[in-house]
Amino acid sequence: MITTNLIKKGAILEDANIRGDTPLQVSVFHGHEEIVELLLSHNVDIRTTNSAGDTPLHVSVFQGHYKITVLLINKRADINAQNTNLFTPLHLSVLAGHFEITKFLLQNNPNVNAQNIVNDTPLHIAVNQGHFNIAELLIQNRAESLKNANGDNPQHVAARNGHQHMVQLLVDKGFNLLEKNKNGDTPLHIGVEKGHFDIVETLLAKSVPLEERNKQLNTPLHLAALNGHKEIAELLVQRGANLNARNIAGDTPLHVALSKGYVHLLNLLSNVDILSVTNNQKDTPLHLATSHGIMQGIIKFLEDGASINAKNGEGNTPLHLALKKGYLDIVDLLIDKNASIDIMNNNDDTPLHLASAKKFDHVILSLLRHGANIDAQNLNGNAPLHLAIVKDGLKLVEIFLNNGAFADIQNYDGNTPVHLAVNQEAIDTVQFLLAKGALVNIKNGKGSIPLHFAVLQHSPVLVEVLLINGAHSNTENIYGNTPLHEAALNNCEKEAKLLIKHGGKVNVKNREGNTPLHLAVLRDYFGMAQILLDINLVNREVINEINNDGNTPLHLAVIKNHFNLSSLLVQKGAAINRENNEGHSALHLAVWNGYLRIVDLFVSSGANINGENRDGNAPIHIAVSKQYVEIVKFLIANNALIDVRNGEGYTPLHLAVLSHFTELVEELVKDGGNLQVKDNYGRTPYDLATMKGYARIAELVKY
């Protein structure tokens, strides 16, 4: 025998392969009884485990090797050993359906109620697999009704899997039929949910309660309704199940059936009393039938006396819901059944609001024929006419105006239909509204007229339409902005030209004191600035208007480092030496920000190179303080006074010393800076350098 010879030659009997199986486990797996006996005679480890944690006994029982199983048990294999999933040999024998092996194991006193990693006992497994004889055998050997990880007892498992004979066995053996799993379900709940009619019959024959609740407070009848099981629902109702029971959402079985669209359950689950029952959302059965488009249910409930105008938690009646869902046949039915036309929901929307928002023109006409309030306003102040306005919505607007809607009605933002039509760029609608007499200059809550909106839409066509119809081109909103300000802010060149052509003023200031030119400069809109400047060449003062900070457009161009605009403004005659509220000229600001190119532009254009601001600082003082060496050199090269004193008596050289900037000190000394000038405290640059301990600089400015 090969195995015998290998053993004689010293083969290692405990070696394991990649799966962790030793020769003993491999021989057990293949059912080689003689080899198993041979290996056991050499005292191999009978309790060895592979990578799955299986002992040879686990392998033997699962593979159905009865004789090897007997051999291993007789060699005292651990009958209760658990693998990595905590399966004992008994679990595996039951799982594989090996009756004789299971019977033998039970004769050797295993733990019949051992639980695996999901807390299943062998009985759970037998029931789940439908092994009736094995389940019966386990019960005979004191198998108990324990709960697994889901809280399921064997009776739950039997009900879930539809094993009627297994349920009957457990019933006959006296297992508790009222046990609940983690979801609070009894076996009856599970049998009903899964649609196992015979199991439900078996359980009801034992008089199990019909009104037990799970954690969602569902009765078995709720679950029958939820899953559309008509025959089971009929059986439960025949046995007296409560039609009015409400679950955690407040739903009766009828509510549940309606929410799933189960028309075949309506007659069974409804009665007159239930028609007014509401769930937690305050929905009646009629609300749910409407929401789910169940015409048959709507007709039935109305015939049975359901309230057609009942409101749910959002204040919606069935008519509101039908409109929201777009069920137009149901809408027609409800209107014909005299549903309230002007009733409002919690948003104060009437059915006419919803019909308008959904663009249901024939419904709008029907509601108006029935006397709907055409100008009713919702919580946002919108009338149905407001909601009708979209880019291609002229037809609806015509319907409303031809039926007497107020063309100038304002919502709570102050917007009229004209405002909204302009905002939607609905040109035809704007023209129609104006032709019907709508006012063109009504201000909204922010003071804007439709003309402001037209500019913001970048629509020269709308701007012209409004202007031709009398829009005031200089109307200011709450920020003081005219339409021309908005055009400047948003670079609307065509619109700006139209506004100016129709009398738009370029020198109007907003709340911050900015003219349209200020705004165009701030945004670096060169073309817009040209338009505003070219039109006003006759009025040179426009270019030098100041805002609340005293800044002219030129100041702003410098602050934003807009070189081309700075150049344009200078060419057009901007006052280059005008000071703002802080006494800064445009040159001061250019130096402060280190914009050498703009500094060059201003100096070459005649700016006062020695002009002083409120603190007495000339541009060169600022350049030194900011340590802009190139600008200092440029200013000196262009005849800036090198010894000019500021309000504290400092010359540029004083400031260079205080800045501890050796390169600047050297530059100023080289260019002839006076070493003996004293500040307001009588200190020369040398005094300051000595006081600060700047030895090298002190040496440079020593006189």
Cα–Cα distance between 325 and 318 in angstroms, integer?
A: 11
In order of 118, 161, 632, the CA distances from 90 in angstroms are: 16, 22, 97
* Confidence at residue 391, expressed as pLDDT on a 0 to 100 scale: 80
Length, in residues, of the chain:
703
**In the prediction, which pLDDT does 39 show?**
81
Q: For the residues 583-594, what does the mean pLDDT come to?
A: 97
pLDDT tens per residue, range 22-75: 888 888 999 989 888 878 887 888 999 999 999 999 999 999 999 999 999 999
| Three-state SS letters, 471-538 | CCCCCCCCCCCCHHHHHHHCCCHHHHHHHHHCCCCCCCCCCCCCCHHHHHHHCCCHHHHHHHHHCCCC
Residue 159 has pLDDT above 80, yes or no: yes
Q: What percent of the chain has pLDDT over 90?
A: 91
658 and 621 in contact (C-beta within 8 Å)? Answer: no
Give the start-to-end residue ranges of the domains of the chain: 440-575
CA distance 496 to 493: 5
Tokens of 39: 């290996």
pLDDT of 541 reads 73
Residues 211-225, buried b or exposed e (16+ Cβ, 10 A)? ebbbeeebbbbbbbb
Neighbours of 259 (CB within 10 A): 18
Max Cα distance, the chain (Å): 122
CA 462 to chain CA centroid, nearest Å: 36
**DSSP tag of 460:** H
For tokens 């902005």, name the residue.
481
pLDDT digits (tens, 9 = 90+) for 393-439: 899 999 999 999 999 999 999 999 999 999 999 999 999 999 999 99
What contacts 398, CB < 8 A, 6 or more positions away?
Answer: 432
CATH superfamily of 440-575: Ankyrin repeat-containing domain (1.25.40.20)
At residue 538, the pLDDT reads 47
**536: pLDDT strictly greater than 70:** no
Give kind and range of the element (H or E) at residue 270: none
Mean pLDDT within 310-331: 97
- pLDDT band of residue 2 (cuts 50, 70, 90) is low
Average model confidence (pLDDT) for the chain? 95
Nearest residue to 258 (alpha-carbon basis) of 305, 332, 321 = 321
Q: What pTM was estimated for this model as a whole?
A: 0.84
Q: Can you give the pLDDT at residue 108?
A: 97
pLDDT greater than 70 at residue 83: yes
**pLDDT of 460-487, one tens digit each?**
999 999 999 999 999 999 999 999 999 9
Lowest-confidence segment of 7-11, 250-254, 323-327 by average pLDDT: 7-11
* Mean pLDDT on 631-655: 96
Angle at 498 between CA 497 and CA 504, to 5 degrees: 85
**pLDDT tens digit string along 269-307?**
998 889 999 999 999 999 999 999 999 999 999 999 999
User: What single-letter DSSP state applies at residue 261?
Assistant: T
C-alpha–C-alpha distance, residues 667 and 673, integer Å: 9
Phi, psi for residue 189 in degrees, rounded to 5: -55, -45
| Alpha carbon distance 213, 215 (integer Å) | 7
pLDDT of residue 1: 63
pLDDT above 80: residue 4: no
